Copies of this chain bind each other. A is one copy, B any other.
C-alpha cells in the first residue's frame, strides 16, 4: 500500500424527496446562488420548480444559467463566471448530471482567477480557492457529486481536459434515485459504463498489499453489474437505482483508489474520442476498455486473474491464466452488450482517419514531449493507436 491523503468532505443527502431539502441545507452557506443546469429537462419534469420553491422558502436568491451540453463547453463556463461575478453569488448550485457539475466547478474556481480558467486545465495550475458547489443530482455516472474533478471541452481547440483539486470537492450533494426514473436507456447504459470505468482505473494496478481496496473495488463493480440490468429493464426500480446511484458516488469519491497507483489510460484515450467526435463518454469507455484489457493484461496477469474471478465470476484455476483472463474480458463485453452499449468505434461513428492524431494528442506528443498513458502498462502513442485499431 502506498502512502495516501484521503479527503472526501461532501455531505451526501440520499433518498426519497431529499431534493426538497435543498433550501434548508444551503441556508447556512448561501445568500444568492447561481442555479446551473442543462437542456431544460428539469423544467419539464418539475424539478426546477421544486428547487426554486425550496430556495424561496429559505430566503435564498438565485440567478439561473442553463444550457450545459454533454461534454460541457468552455464558452458557457466563461458566461457563468461573468454572471457569477456580476451577480455576486456565493455558491454554485448544479442541478443536473456530471456535465452540469463539471461546468459548475469550472465557474466556481473561475470567479477567483484573474486569468482564463482554461489555463488551469491546460497547465494544471494549482488553485487557491473556489466558491462552494452544491448539487442536486439527476444522472448518476460521473461521480462528480463527490469528487474534486472536472472535465471541460475547449470547443475552439477541440481539446477536452480534466482537472482535479480538493478545493473543488462539493459541499453538499443531494441524491434522490427517483430523479433517475426518466433517464433514456442509452444514458443509463453510458452512466453504468462510466462508473465502472472509475473503479477499473483504480483497480488495475501494480501496487501490492491492497486487500481492502481490492475488495472495495470488486464490491462496487459487482453491485453495479447486478443492478445495471435491473434499471435498464425497469427505469422505475427505486431499489436498483439506489444501488447504482450510491455505487457511482463510492466509485469516484477517492476511497477505493487510496494507496494504489492508478491507471486512467482508458479515460485519457476516451477523452480524445469525445473531444473530436462528441461521443458519450461512457459509450467510448465501453468500446475502449475490453481492448485495453487484452492489450495490457500480460504485464500483470495475476491482477487480471483476480478481476476475472472476483468480479466476472470465472471459476478460479491456475492451469491456464490466459484463458481465464480472456473469459473474464469476454464476460465484461457480454455485460456491456446486454446494457446496449456499443462495441466498436464504427458504432460510435468513428472511422480510422484520425486515430494517429488522437493517439498523439492523448500522449501529448502532439504538443511536444510525450507522456505515456497509464501505469499498469505505460502506453506510448503507438500503443494507443494499436488499441484504437483493435476497436475498429
Seen from chain A, the residues whose Cβ lies within 8 Å of a Cβ on chain B are 1-9, 11-16, 18, 208-209, 211-213, 215-216, 218-220, 222-223, 226-227, 239-240, 242-243, 246-247, 250, 255, 258-259
Q: Which 5 A-B pairs have the closest CB atoms?
A: A3-B15, A215-B219, A209-B239, A9-B9, A6-B12
* Contact of A259 (CB < 8 Å), options: B14, B209, B219: B14
A240→B15 CA distance, assembly (Å): 37
Bound-state Cα–Cα, A1 to B240, Å: 10
Q: Is the CB of A227 within 8 A of B211?
A: yes
Minimum CB–CB distance for A367 against chain B, Å: 34
User: A255 contacts which chain B residues (CB < 8 A)?
Assistant: 250, 255
Query: Do A259 and B239 touch across chains, with their CB atoms under 8 A apart?
Result: no
Q: Point out which of A3, A18, A212, A219 has the most chain B C-beta atoms below 10 A from its C-beta.
A: A212
Q: How far is the CB of A318 from chain B (nearest CB, A)?
A: 19
What are 5 contact pairs spanning A and B, CB under 8 A?
A5-B12, A6-B14, A209-B239, A219-B219, A246-B259
**Given A215-B223, A222-B215: A5 and B14 within 8 A (CB)?**
yes
Looking at A8, A227, A239, the one whose CB has the most chain B CB atoms below 10 A away is: A8
- Which B residue sits closest to A166, measured CB to CB? B11
Since A2-B15, A4-B14, A211-B243 are in contact, a sample of 19 more A-B pairs with Cβ atoms closer than 8 Å, ordered by chain A residue number, is A3-B15, A3-B16, A3-B18, A4-B12, A4-B15, A5-B12, A6-B14, A208-B239, A211-B226, A212-B220, A212-B223, A212-B243, A212-B247, A212-B250, A215-B219, A215-B220, A215-B223, A216-B216, A218-B219
Residues of B within 8 A of A15 (CB): 1-4, 259
Q: A14 contacts B3, CB within 8 Å?
A: yes
> Which chain B positions have C-beta within 8 A of A9?
7-9, 11
Q: Is the CB of A5 within 8 A of B1?
A: no
Once bound together, how far apart are the Cα atoms of A243 and B6, in whole Å? 15
A246 and B258 form a contact (CB under 8 A): yes
- Chain B residues positioned under 8 Å from A8 (CB to CB): 8-9
Look across to chain B and name the residue whose beta carbon is closest to the beta carbon of A213. B246
Q: In whole angstroms, how far apart are the Cα atoms of A266 and B7 in the complex?
A: 31
Closest to A11 in B: B7
Closest to A16 in B: B3
Min CB gap A122→B, angstroms: 28
Q: How far is the CB of A18 from chain B (nearest CB, A)?
A: 7
**Residues of chain B lying within 8 A (CB to CB) of residue A4:** 12, 14-15
Q: How far is the CA of A7 from the CA of B7 in the complex (A)?
A: 11
- Asked if residues A1 and B239 are in contact (CB atoms below 8 Å), the reply is yes
* Smallest beta-carbon distance A213→chain B, Å: 8
Question: Which one of A1, A5, A211, A220 has the highest number of Cβ atoms from chain B below 10 Å of its Cβ?
Answer: A211
CA distance A250 to B219 in the complex (A): 14
Known: A11-B7, A218-B219, A219-B216. A209 touches B1 (CB 8 A): no
Chain B residue nearest in CB terms to A8: B8
CA distance A266 to B239 in the complex (A): 29
Give Cα A246–Cα B257 distance, bound, in whole angstroms.
12
Which residue in chain B gives the minimum CB-CB distance to A12?
B6
| Inter-chain contact A11/B6, CB cutoff 8 Å | yes
**Set of chain B residues within 8 Å of A222, measured between Cβ atoms:** 211, 215
Tell me the complex Cα distance, A80–B215, Å. Answer: 41
Max count, chain B CB within 10 A of own CB: residue among A6, A7, A12, A16: A6
Which has the most chain B C-beta neighbours within 10 Å: A1, A15, A218, A226?
A: A1
A5: which B residues are within 8 A, CB to CB? 11-14
Given contacts A6-B14, A246-B1, contact A223 B239 (CB under 8 A): no
Find chain B residues with CB under 8 A from A208 CB. Answer: 239
